[in-house]
Each structure stands twice: as structure tokens, then as C-alpha cells.
Structure 1
């Protein structure tokens, strides 16, 4: 394999992307339509919150693992384009409710992820760098 770090990064994103797309397909098969997209985006927000705040608090995971998981897996698992298409196709009241629920639940999930990451290293002397 090449020693160029860009090649390794590309490989990590590609492998993670394949895994994330497969997981997203499974969620979509189990929960078709709006519910599957909402479930993927909210659970992806939760996991992204964990990854982000783990990096800020302990940084034990490392850049390669974070690249694989966040940029690879979770970027293909969460589906902003599907979210927008489904919102536009929905009846107006359903579309607005779906939009508000998606953003509200996504932000709440990221905050829960932040709290979960804090439990990894709960020492009070660890400050969160923002």
C-alpha cells in the first residue's frame, strides 16, 4: 500500500462509506420512508455527538478511527439529500412537522452523544475544548 497518507484516508472513507451505506439500507428496509430517514439521521447525530465530544475530551480514538467512523460510516449512513426530498414530497403540515422533528431530535441526539462521551472520561479536571 502507498505510504501517502491521502491514500490511507481515502481507503478509510471508502470502507466506512460502504459500511454506512449498507447500514442505512438496512434501516430503510426496516423502517421505510420518513421513519427510516428520521431514525438514521437521529441515531447518526447521536453517534456523531459521541465522536465529536470524545475527541474534545479524551482524544483516545485517534484520527484514523474518527475518519473511518465519522467521515466514512456516518456520512453515508445519515442522509440529508433523502431528508430534503422526503420533506418536499410530504403534505405541507407533515413536511413542516418532519423538518422540525428531524432538526430538534438530531440536535437533542447530538447533545445526548456529548453526555455519553463525557462518561468515557468523567473526571472533572477534563475540560471540553470547543
Structure 2
């Protein structure tokens, strides 16, 4: 139960920070380009890479911090960071075909699913 609370609070803080960064970027730059989401995704990728490597140095003693920061905070901040990190792991393991399938499949099916959701909502 304690693990779920750790992830829950980390995810809540990550979501809050995503909102703050997105609003801040939108206030700074007026453009059709989604700078807020772009900034969140890129900083989230940096953060998950840093935190996974950093917490591994401390072994099992850092498990709660890793759950709070990586699973919770980064998961709430952006799932793109998890997507990016998983692709880096696949490349590191020389699973290039799996990485390409995962990347292209996620993008293509993600776009199709989003459009399908829009069509389904329109037809209600």
C-alpha cells in the first residue's frame, strides 16, 4: 500500500509541474507550435535519464525515491519520457527491429486512435 501512495503523490506533483510548465511556455511564446508540450516532453526525457542513472548508484536503498521520482513524477509529468527511455533501452540491447516497431507503431496507432476517439465522440 505504501508503494502505491509514493507513486500517487509523485504522479500528482508531476502532473502539476506539467501544467505549470505548459502554462509558462504558452505565456512566453504565442505560436501554433505546441511549445509547452514540447518543453515538457524534452525536459521529461532528460529527467528520466538522469534519475534512472542516478538512483541506480544507490541500489535498493533508493527504491522508494525511484518509485516517487521516476514512476510517479516522470509518469505524471510526461509519458513520453518513459517511451523515450524504453526505446533507448531497446537500442542498448541491440533490439533495433523491436525499437522501430514500438516507435512507428506507437506513433501510427496513437494518431489513428486519437482520430478514432474524435470520430466516436462526434457520432454520439
Measured against the shorter chain, the TM-score band is 0.5 to 0.7
Instruction: Report the TM-score when normalising by structure 2.
Output: 0.54
Query: Structure 1 regions of 5+ residues with no counterpart?
Result: 1-6, 81-102, 108-130
What is the rounded CA distance, in whole Å, between the counterparts of 2:54 and 2:60 in structure 1? 8
8 Å contact from structure 2 (residues 56, 62) kept in 1:
no
More helix by share: 2
**Residue 59 of structure 1: CA displacement?**
3.3
Note if 1:15 corresponds to 2:4: no
The answer to whether 1:65 aligns with 2:76 is no
Distance 1:12 1:34 in 2: 31
Match of 1:37 in 2: 37
Q: 1:15 to 1:30 in 2, by over 3 A?
A: same
Aligned-partner Cα distance in 1 for 2:44–2:73: 9
Give the distance between the partners of 1:40 and 1:61, measured in 2 at CA. Answer: 29
- For residues 55-94 of structure 1, the aligned pairs below 5 Å read 55-59=55-59, 62-80=62-80
CA-CA distance at 1:77 after TM superposition = 0.5
Give the whole-Å Cα distance in 2 for the aligned partners of 1:56 and 1:16: 18
TM-score normalised by length of structure 1: 0.51
Q: Deviations over 1:55-94 (max 9, x none)?
A: 44443861000000011111110154xxxxxxxxxxxxxx
Change (3 A) 1:14 1:56: closer
Change in CA separation of 1:79 and 1:62 when aligned onto 2, cut-off 3 Å: closer
Higher relative contact order (CA 8 A, sep 6+): 1
**1:25 shift after superposition:** 0.4
Structure 1 segments (4+ residues) deviating >4 Å: none
